[in-house]
């Protein structure tokens, strides 16, 4: 997955309330948002499509508050110059006023270090005390992080003469781990949305027979989603675990520990998602569906134990 970082400059004199308004609008577009090093700046990190949507949403929120961004910097970190240029071109069009004027949009040099604090908004949301995002989202995050480490090891192996024999395998592994990282990243939001939808269904009125029947149907659908999402997380994470086993054994030996950490995170994602499946299963009304989901989740959990052991080349952490 290609990432792009945008810095939205609102000016050193921008009040905190304005920065918060812009950040909240951007976060709804599933991007990482952190305060920039300069006063009055926000840094947005995500896919080019998400960042474009987030910058536009933040700019509109700022305009509604009676202000406007002074400049947008599109960094090259994590993406190609062509992709950054495409983002900049889209933003010049989307941020233009009716008379055609727009804030300056500049393609900037890549920073020397990646935005390692980008996950902080999600961690803050998990710690906020709200019911969601919670354990299910954290499970998906663990799986996505495991996939990122698989991609890292594969990328450090590809194109090196010493590993020419496994080059094609590493390229396939890298491609698939990036697909899984995208999928697990989406499951973070899906899990939180599923739980929130279930809570909304619980609050539906049931004073009349029609209202009670409608609530029953909505609640049944919402309950099913609270199991389907963590089950999807298990399916994706077990595949990440399989790929971590490959890169830890056959990839760049200097990064084998990173591959093993990826395996541990993917295995943790499987187990954590399994816990969410088990706790939510009793709310699934159809007994056949409940039995099928339970059986699949149990099988995936057992499979994860075997693959994790293989990835770590050991039976216990004490033997590593």
**First vs last C-alpha separation in the chain:** 32
Q: What's the pLDDT at 46?
A: 67
For residues 121-144, give the mean pLDDT.
85
**317 — pLDDT class (breaks 50, 70, 90):** very low
% pLDDT > 70, the chain = 72
Q: What's the pLDDT at 316?
A: 40
pLDDT digits 0-9 by tens, 284-295: 988 999 999 999
Q: What's the pLDDT at 200?
A: 87
The answer, yes or no, to whether residue 87 has pLDDT greater than 80, is: no
In sequence order, the 6+-apart residues with CB closer than 8 A to the CB of 127 are none
Q: How far, in whole angstroms, is CA 54 from its chain's centroid?
A: 15
Report whether 79 contacts 48 (CB < 8 A).
Answer: yes
For residues 172-193, give the mean pLDDT.
92
For residues 128-138, give the mean pLDDT.
85
For residues 141-152, give the mean pLDDT.
94
Q: What are phi and psi of 6, to 5 degrees?
A: -120, 135
For residues 96-116, give the mean pLDDT.
58
Q: What's the pLDDT at 269?
A: 96
Q: What's the pLDDT at 111?
A: 47
Residue 305 CA to residue 246 CA, distance in Å, equals: 16
In sequence order, the 6+-apart residues with CB closer than 8 A to the CB of 184 are 140, 141, 143, 144, 147, 233, 236, 237, 240, 269
Helices (H), the chain: 16-27, 48-64, 81-94, 120-126, 135-157, 167-202, 209-250, 256-280, 287-312
pLDDT winner (highest mean) among 106-110, 116-120, 128-132, 291-295: 291-295
**7 — pLDDT class (breaks 50, 70, 90):** confident
pLDDT digits 0-9 by tens, 265-281: 999 999 999 999 999 99
**68 — pLDDT class (breaks 50, 70, 90):** low
Q: Of 108-117, 170-179, 188-197, 298-307, which gets the smallest average pLDDT?
A: 108-117
Strand partners, 71: 9, 104
pTM above 0.75, yes or no: no
pLDDT digits 0-9 by tens, 203-228: 888 888 888 888 889 988 999 999 99
Position with higher pLDDT, 197 vs 57: 197
The answer, yes or no, to whether residue 307 has pLDDT greater than 50, is: yes
Q: What are phi and psi of 34, to 5 degrees?
A: -135, 155
> Domains in the chain, please, with CATH?
4-108 (3.30.990.10), 120-319 (1.20.120.680)
Q: What's the pLDDT at 35?
A: 65
The answer, yes or no, to whether residue 184 has pLDDT greater than 90, is: yes
The answer, yes or no, to whether residue 34 has pLDDT greater than 70, is: no
The answer, yes or no, to whether residue 28 has pLDDT greater than 50, is: yes
Question: Following CA atoms 186, 187, 193, 197 in sequence, which dihedral angle do they give, to the nearest 10 degrees?
Answer: 140
Q: What's the pLDDT at 231?
A: 95
Report whether 58 contacts 22 (CB < 8 A).
Answer: yes
Prior bond to 133 cis, omega within 30?
yes
């Amino acid at each position: 997955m290609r990432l792009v970082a945008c810095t939205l400059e609102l000016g050193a004199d921008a009040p905190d309330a304005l920065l918060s308004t812009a950040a909240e609008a951007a976060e709804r577009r599933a991007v990482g948002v952190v305060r920039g090093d300069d006063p009055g700046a926000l840094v947005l990190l995500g896919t080019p499509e998400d960042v474009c949507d987030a910058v536009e949403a933040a700019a509109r929120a700022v305009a509604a508050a009676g202000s406007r961004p002074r400049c947008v910097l599109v960094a090259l970190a994590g993406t190609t110059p062509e992709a950054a240029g495409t983002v900049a071109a889209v933003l010049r069009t989307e941020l233009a006023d009716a008379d055609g004027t727009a804030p300056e949009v500049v393609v900037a040099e890549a920073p020397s270090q990646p935005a390692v604090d980008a996950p902080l908004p999600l961690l803050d949301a998990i710690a906020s005390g709200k019911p969601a995002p919670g354990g299910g989202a954290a499970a998906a995050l663990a799986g996505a992080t495991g996939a990122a480490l698989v991609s890292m090891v594969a990328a450090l192996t590809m194109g090196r003469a010493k590993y020419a024999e496994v080059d094609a395998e590493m390229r396939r592994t890298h491609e698939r781990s990036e697909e899984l990282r995208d999928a697990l990243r989406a499951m973070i939001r899906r899990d939180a949305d599923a739980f929130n939808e279930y809570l909304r269904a619980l609050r539906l009125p049931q004073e009349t027979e029609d209202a009670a029947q409608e609530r029953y149907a909505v609640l049944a659908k919402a309950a099913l989603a609270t199991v389907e999402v963590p089950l999807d997380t298990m399916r994706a994470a077990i595949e990440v675990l399989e790929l971590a086993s490959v890169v830890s054994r056959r990839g760049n030996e200097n990064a084998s520990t990173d591959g093993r950490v990826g395996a541990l995170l993917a295995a943790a994602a499987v187990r954590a998602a399994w816990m969410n499946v088990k706790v939510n299963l009793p709310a699934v009304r159809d007994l056949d569906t409940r039995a099928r989901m339970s059986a699949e989740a149990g099988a995936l959990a057992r499979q994860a134990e075997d693959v994790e052991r293989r990835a770590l080349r050991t039976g216990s952490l004490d033997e590593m």
